[in-house]
């Protein structure tokens, strides 16, 4: 019978940093890390390699494998306690600031660059005051940008150090969490293999949010709804956002729409980057990347509307998937539309896209009409914010601005957790984006450290 001290499910940043913190303790723990995707050097997307149209791959190499979805993200480390997650639900501000600094230093040790954006307080405050005039709230955040091209190298360096301390199994799907008398005892794989451990840490990432919800229901854990974030990816000429991105790299702006009072926010800004596809269990969505060593002529960012559903509806993830599937049906994948066409109430055509001075970086997208997929409420919210953003970034409201859809952020139903991220099942922890406690690399990584430290306190 296989038995480990700690079993970690998921090799994204949360799972990796759980393993790293446990290994650094030098307690000689027997640690198993299970990942349903592939190793970092085997994660290849057919769309990028063969230049073919996005197709269904299980699991999607962009989202699953060593490093999780963050491996091929643009690698932004948000160093503010107010950005990138919800760990303030579990620890106080001072503790979180110390934890973010600790986690950031580990990334630096493994190759993250020294440069940090957002440190010019005077310039940031000017942007913040300017934004406030138009109903926009800027959340200041210091950001360290690793870059899509450098992320794999950082992750490979971490893996090299972990190899002698942690057993890692790839292409391993976990079917269920095993428990006995209210305590976690291990996991069972889809192949029927039972693996036992004293502690189990669930770190499935946002790609595994539905899986974690299924596990929570099977274990009868308390669940709360997280908002579902639905919107589009916006692409403009890089010069339009240059005065913002050169100072703070990723301007995090929040806006409350006048008509519906919905919260709209920018997310994942990629200066001089490219728009990319992601495939998530039957749904094709859109995202963005930016690199340290190459630049396009465009900047892209997500514009998302957060909707908190109330009773009797309690399936926000399924709702987000439904909207994305509708867009997939209409556009055979990702739809792209000129802002001018959306405002005019007409679909974009290849000819209209070709005439735009913003050339799409996602070639594998279909000109179409987003209003057939996005509800009127979302369209109204997004247009209001784009118009407001144009006041501080003239050119955003241009007819040539491109909108890609649908972008949806799937986060797990929030679990009831202790201050150490332990579930209602003893010795079972849930960390990272999939557990609804983080929304970015730093806080996902930090959540793994939190769980590991609690485990270490209990290990004799």
- Express as a percent the part of the chain with pLDDT over 70: 94
| Average pLDDT estimate for 343-364 | 95
Q: What angle do CA 437, 128, 138 make, to 5 degrees?
A: 20
pLDDT over 80 (residue 131): yes
- Give the mean model confidence (pLDDT) for residues 331-351: 95
Q: Is the pLDDT of residue 185 over 70?
A: yes
pLDDT tens digits for range 257-316? 999 999 999 999 999 999 998 877 678 889 998 887 789 999 999 999 987 666 676 677
Q: Are 16 and 71 in contact (CB under 8 A)?
A: no
Predicted confidence band of residue 345 (pLDDT cuts 50, 70, 90): very high
Cα(397)–Cα(340) distance, rounded to whole angstroms? 9
Task: Write down all domains in the chain, each with its CATH number in brackets.
Answer: 3-112+150-224+412-458 (3.50.50.60), 228-409 (no CATH)
* pLDDT value for 279: 78
Q: Which of 74-88, 89-103, 280-294 has the highest mean pLDDT?
A: 89-103
Is the model's pLDDT at 53 over the cut of 70?
no
- 264-268, 386-390, 433-437, range with the lowest pLDDT: 433-437
Q: Which range has highest mean pLDDT (42-46, 52-56, 292-296, 365-369)? A: 365-369
For all residues of the chain together, what is the average pLDDT? 91
191-209: average pLDDT? 92
pLDDT given at position 73: 73
pTM for the predicted model, two decimal places:
0.84
Mean pLDDT, residues 185-209 taken together? 93
Alpha-carbon span 368 to 375, nearest angstrom: 15
Predicted pLDDT at 208:
84
Q: 61-70, 171-180, 369-378, 391-400: lowest mean pLDDT where? A: 61-70
On the question of pLDDT at 54 being above 60, the answer is no
Cα 294 to Cα 102, 145, 297, 298, 447, distances in angstroms: 30, 14, 10, 12, 32
* 218-253 tens-digit pLDDT: 999 998 766 678 999 999 999 999 999 999 999 999
Confidence at 55, pLDDT banded by 50, 70, 90: low
- Closest Cα partner for 402 from 333, 323, 299? 299
Residue 454: Cβ within 10 Å count: 17
pLDDT at 319: 85
| pLDDT value at 376 more than 90 | yes
DSSP secondary structure code for residue 455 in this structure: H
């Amino acid at each position: 019978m296989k038995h480990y001290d700690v079993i970690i499910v998921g090799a994204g940043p949360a799972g990796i940093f759980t393993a790293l913190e446990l290994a650094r303790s030098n307690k000689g723990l027997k640690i198993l890390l299970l990942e349903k995707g592939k190793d970092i050097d085997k994660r290849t997307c057919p769309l990028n390699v063969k230049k073919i149209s996005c197709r269904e791959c299980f699991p999607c190499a962009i989202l699953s494998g060593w490093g999780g979805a963050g491996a091929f993200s643009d690698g932004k480390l948000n160093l503010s306690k107010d950005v990138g997650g919800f760990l303030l639900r579990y620890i106080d501000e001072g503790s979180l600031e110390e934890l973010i600094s600790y986690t950031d230093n580990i990334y630096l040790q493994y190759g993250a660059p020294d440069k940090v954006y957002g440190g010019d307080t005077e310039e940031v405050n000017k942007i913040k005051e300017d934004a406030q005039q138009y109903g926009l709230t800027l959340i200041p955040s210091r950001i360290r940008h690793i870059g899509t091209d450098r992320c794999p190298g950082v992750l490979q360096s971490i893996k090299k150090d972990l190899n002698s301390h942690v057993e890692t199994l790839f292409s391993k799907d976990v079917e269920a969490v095993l428990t006995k008398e209210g305590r976690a005892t291990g996991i069972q794989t889809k192949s029927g293999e039972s693996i036992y451990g004293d502690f189990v840490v669930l770190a499935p990432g946002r790609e595994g949010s539905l899986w974690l919800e299924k596990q929570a229901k099977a274990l009868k854990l308390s669940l709360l709804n997280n908002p579902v974030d639905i919107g589009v990816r916006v692409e403009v000429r890089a010069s339009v956002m240059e005065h913002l991105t050169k100072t703070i790299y990723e301007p995090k702006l929040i806006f409350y729409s006048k008509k519906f009072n919905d919260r709209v926010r920018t997310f994942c800004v990629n200066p001089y980057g490219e728009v990319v596809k992601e495939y998530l269990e039957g749904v094709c969505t859109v995202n963005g990347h930016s690199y340290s060593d190459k630049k396009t002529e465009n900047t892209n960012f997500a514009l998302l509307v957060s909707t908190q559903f109330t009773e009797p509806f309690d399936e926000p993830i399924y709702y987000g998937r439904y909207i994305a599937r509708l867009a997939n049906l209409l556009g055979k994948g990702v739809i792209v539309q000129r802002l001018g066409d959306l405002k005019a109430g007409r679909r974009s055509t290849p000819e209209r896209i070709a005439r735009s001075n913003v050339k799409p970086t996602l070639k594998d997208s279909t000109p179409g009409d987003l209003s057939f997929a996005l509800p009127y409420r979302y369209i109204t919210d997004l247009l209001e914010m784009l118009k407001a953003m144009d006041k501080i970034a003239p050119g955003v409201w241009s007819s040539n601005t491109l909108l890609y859809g649908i972008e949806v952020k799937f986060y797990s139903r929030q679990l009831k957790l202790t201050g150490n991220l332990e579930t209602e099942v003893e010795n079972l922890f849930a960390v990272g984006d999939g557990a609804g406690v983080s929304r970015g690399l730093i806080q996902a990584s930090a959540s793994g450290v939190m769980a590991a430290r609690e485990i270490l306190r209990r290990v004799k």
